[in-house]
Amino acid sequence: MDWGTSFVHKYVPPDELSDCRMLVMVESGTEYEIRKLIDEFPDVCWKFPCSTTIAQYHFDVAAKNKPIIADKSNPHVSEGIGDLPKFYATLPFFVSPFEINIQPKYLDKARLNMSEQLQRMYEEDSQRWKPDPKNIFDTVACACRSGDAWHRARIFECKRGNSFLVDLIDYGVRKITDFENLRMLPKKFGRIPPLALKCRVRDVYVNDLNTEKVNLFSKIIEECGNLVRVEITSVQEPYLVNLFHPTISNYNLCEVFYRRAPDSGHEAAKWRKLKEHERRENGDTSDQEDMLSDEEDEEFFDPLPRFVIQLDRIGKATRVPDKMLQVAHVENARLIYVKSNWQIKQTTEIEEILQDKVSFFFLI
């Protein structure tokens, strides 16, 4: 024990616990107003639960089914967990990699059932749940009519006059609506957390984004049909996620937006160019050094091959009377596979390419 510690133990009296226990409530602000509404209208939902239960579910699945091993080869995977479960999701709303909303596909049925129950309830007695205008303010939970359907919503901002900006929390969409399209939400519909998640891409920083990168992100998502595979790497909203191609294995759609590690060859080339520029400024025009470009200095890495995990669904066949169809395979008396001449030609070419590729991979 040092001198300071012994002095404290000898001369400083120990702290005494106080018997006073007081709960201090600040009687102002949005949270206070919501608590008042909850006490006044206990059968109405005024605030939605947090959506972290959905993210925590994926981490629990990873902890039970996957070994807790860090993946050193991929720095954009959560440290400590080798392979978090990926799920399919649609992106109904996105501004940039820093602000996106996702709809998990496995929650589509729950989302549809919720909307149908709300529709039946408000069709039977809509006026009963009409809110008082003074009870509609920012962050309050409610129901909103969009078109002919009712959805759970949250007031995002009260506009001038009779307009409100609301978040449809189960769809990740934001829209402007009138007061006549708002209703109070029964408490039983407020127990389920929002079925759409607010996210941002992991390891992408807002200072690195520009108009070109934002447009590129929109183009990438649109080419995938607004359908991606999502890997959640955090349990706090907005969730940090990795976005993968829906049909190609381990194809990270946002690799182009990551910060690149400094390359020693690239830095050396920059310094050589500066020296060459200084030499020419001093009047030395002789070609003594063969300056290499950045591309020549950078080490070339052959990208790893990508594999398809799922083929796109075939479109509906159209009836063309003058085309001949050949029987390709007979499964049973009720199921027969047929092909056109074009399909047979394409299949032959694909099989020849696959034969060469598979032989190459086996040699590796």
Task: Say what the alpha-carbon torsion angle 182, 186, 189, 194 is, to the nearest 10 degrees.
Answer: 40
For the chain, what percent of residues have pLDDT higher than 70?
Answer: 74
Predicted pLDDT at 185: 93
pLDDT in tens, 3-31: 555 655 665 667 677 677 666 667 778 88
Predicted pLDDT at 276: 80
Q: What is the 3-state secondary structure (H, E, C) of 152-192?
A: EEEEEEECCCCEEEEEECCCCEEEEEEHHHEECEEHHHHCC
pLDDT in tens, 39-88: 999 999 999 988 888 888 887 877 776 554 444 455 554 433 446 788 99
Query: CA 364, CA 359: separation in Å to the nearest integer?
Result: 9
Predicted pLDDT at 292: 44
Token pair for 269? 């080339």
Contact between 230 and 103 (Cβ < 8 Å):
no
**For the chain, what is the mean pLDDT?**
79
pLDDT band (50, 70, 90) for residue 228: very high
Predicted pLDDT at 70: 44
DSSP 228: E
Q: Is 180 exposed, middle or buried, given 0-12, 13-18 or 19+ CB atoms closer than 10 A? A: exposed
Kindly give the residue spans of alpha helices, DSSP state H, lying in the chain.
3-11, 30-40, 52-65, 108-124, 211-223, 264-281, 294-297, 341-363
81 vs 196, more confident: 196
Token pair for 72? 């050193």
Cα Rg of the chain, angstroms: 30
Residue 141 has pLDDT above 90, yes or no: yes
Residues 285-289, mean pLDDT to the nearest whole number: 55
pLDDT in tens, 322-341: 567 888 888 887 888 888 88
User: ∠ CA(256), CA(52), CA(183), 5° rounding?
Assistant: 110
Contact between 190 and 37 (Cβ < 8 Å):
no
Query: CA 62, CA 60: separation in Å to the nearest integer?
Result: 5
Domains and CATH numbers, the chain: 56-106+196-257 (2.40.50.90), 108-190 (2.30.30.140), 320-355 (no CATH)
Task: Say what the alpha-carbon torsion angle 351, 352, 355, 358 is, to the nearest 10 degrees.
Answer: -80
Residues 115-134, mean pLDDT to the nearest whole number: 88
Integer angstrom CA distances of residue 98 from 164, 211, 359: 25, 13, 42
Predicted pLDDT at 32: 86
Predicted pLDDT at 303: 55
Which stretch of 7-16, 87-96, 251-260, 341-350 has the lowest confidence by average pLDDT? 7-16
pTM above 0.75? no
Omega of the bond leading into 238 within 30 degrees of 0 (cis): yes
Integer angstrom CA distances of residue 144 from 49, 113, 121, 232: 18, 16, 13, 29
Residue 214 has pLDDT above 70, yes or no: yes
Considering only CA atoms, which of 121, 154, 116 is closest in space to residue 137?
A: 154
User: ∠ CA(225), CA(231), CA(237), 5° rounding?
Assistant: 100
pLDDT band (50, 70, 90) for residue 177: very high
User: ∠ CA(236), CA(242), CA(245), 5° rounding?
Assistant: 145
Predicted pLDDT at 264: 54
Token pair for 120? 């039946």
